[in-house]
Structure 1
Amino acid sequence: MKHGVFGLPMLYNRFLPLGVAFSLLFASCALTKHIQEGDYLLSRVNIHVDSLSSTEREELGELSNLIPHQPNRRFLGLFRWTLALHNLSNLKSNSFINRQLRRWGDAPVIFNPTEAEFGRANLTAMMYNLGYLNAETTLQVDTTRPKQAFLTYSIRPGKRLTVGRYEERPTDSTIQAILHPQDTLAQKRLFPGEQYRSHLHAGAILSPKHMRAEQERVTELLRNRGYYSFTGDSIHFEVDTLYAQDIWVRSRIAVPQEVYRIGKVSLLQRPRQEETPLWDTEREGIRFRLDGKHYIRPAELARRIWVRPGELYSMRHTAATYSALSELPTIHGISIQYHTDSLSADSTLLNCEITTNSAQTKSISGDIVGTNSSGSLGVSSSLAFSNNNLFHGG
């Protein structure tokens, strides 16, 4: 390889003057060229966190994502080339080149005190959510450089509290067997993913995040076992922080009296055309109304439906049904709704109505490409036919 000036390859020397010219052009273009009097270009945002271990700091994640007020992008963390491109344009001209420069570049980000304060509030809320209940976040704005603003967020986390004792006080003591089963392995085989240890156990960090996780944990356990009307709002926490070394946390759980079972289960497959006749059938206690033109075997549909008549309502069975039906390419737009059976004397019966839409199952596609074989020009064509319902669902 030939070398030129400075020992660089000739190819580099060819583009070196061009690169230098662009660098000088960008450097000569002031970053604050289009900043009005009284405004400030947002130049940099820094975040400082005091007295946290590396593990605690890692738990915070990328703090800059919580600050919506960010300066213009930098290339390799150094050059704001998109801002420089924008500044090359004449804002008073609407010529083609000026319009292109403004389209390729980014307008300068003007410092906005309201947005900067919103970022400070976000940081404080995030720290509080992780258990830094006394965290303080301050914002310093440096405008000593002409028409430029530098923001510095300083976070003083404070000390986190840990749970000393935790107890549950449900209004119905019978759910204790659900919250704390004797054979957890057997329950996990029936309901994979469930957790039977509280997020607020002794030694855990006392935080709103763990409280919400505890609400979700208890809600999942109960809604998987018939408590259809139970929500996380049915759980309230009482915290006694009189002694900082021994925090007491109590959860009061308002348990509904009704435990719901499944009544009727039905699936409706809406056809692509309204005038298409529907085919009625029943398999394993599930009633089907199917699109005759996009027929799916009822046995295959029944195999994918986990919700069954007579069983306890289960949130997990609902999710499993939705996931299994979504794997079929012949249907889409799946909806699963529950309604109390108004015709039944038993008010705790839920009818499950599954609604789907027929998808396009057959298609023909063609392709034409030019060919060149040893200088001979030609055309190659192909035709493909696909059927996503060849085996009617399985």
Structure 2
Amino acid sequence: MAFDSQWGLSATGFYVPSYEEVLDSIQDDFIARFGSDIVLTSNSNFGIITRMMARREKASWEEQQLTYYSAFISTAIGTSLDYIGGNLGLKRKVDEPAFATITIATEGEYLIQAGEQFATESGYVFTLLKDVVTTQNNDGSWSGMGMVQCEETGADTNVPINSITTEVDPDENILSVTNFEKAGGGQDYEDDETYRERLRMENEARPGSTAAGIRSALMNLPGVREVNIVQNPSNATDKYGNPPYSVHIYCLGGDKGSIAETIADYIAAGITLVGSQQLKVKDATGNKLDINFDFATNKPVFAKVVINTDDAWNVDNGAEDVKQSIADYINELEMGDPVYITRLYPAIYDIEGVTDASIAIGTSTTTLQEKNMIQTDFEAVTCDPDDIEVVVNGL
């Protein structure tokens, strides 16, 4: 293998020589060994051999560079990034199904066996995990509660309140079924960039009793997209209505039981927690703790884009590219971040063939306006590409 002392690992990083540099080095070696009168043109025997060697050596240097980069959080990809995460004790989040608690109403006392399935109107099927026996309520009605798991995975399975309302196999003894809380825990496979950012955060703030440490621990839970922690160290109520010397934790997504258990593991003794979600959780010593927190508000964004195009416009995929670009930008915003109209335009104009565009956004198709969308500190926006309408002119 030809080699130059400036190639490979150096004080400034890992330098990969260009194909021309490798070829020149190999041909210099051939001249040194076989004489200066050899023919090295592209159609000569020596020329063909040296070029073949140069291509292979160039590929070898590139592989060595990838091996070098795989050791660092900022540059590792795929499996190499997974290995780094494993060394830190932080695995990549994989596809997970959502879980929900459903309430089943019946004519009288009735057994609903594990394995029974219920569905949403949108087609997500949830399976009952344990038998449920309905009991009589104070008003004389009969009902029971059970945990269900979605048969599919992904963040979309976190279906909203009162959406699991259909029996897959109708039973005349069941009067109704619904979920009085949003399903949680469903998540998509974590891509490299999202996983890399979580690893960076892990290095900066290991899970612990500090606010940054608690946030890090909660962000590692399945389905948790964002965490915001409000501390009130004063002896007066703060601007959010939190009492003195309290901590108010907001989570976007995730399972409330897992969130409560994680908070119990990492919160410091004597801290007053506030929030509408209240669960009793055992700590490491077996003592029961009252854990309070709140779920952040998920604020959906709808949009309508009207664009003019030229001949470079991709008729087949252009509109979908516009939708995906806008949705990607919005979904990367953090809790409390506003959606600025002007910052959406670069995502549109980056699509080849777009010559002019106008955009309106809102929380529904009936509230679309050409103005910024401002969030409170504990609201987080999300956007589904299917909620974006693209009107194309000039075709």
TM over 0.5: no
TM-score (norm: length of structure 2)? 0.20
| Structure number with larger C-alpha Rg | 1
TM-score (norm: length of structure 1)? 0.20
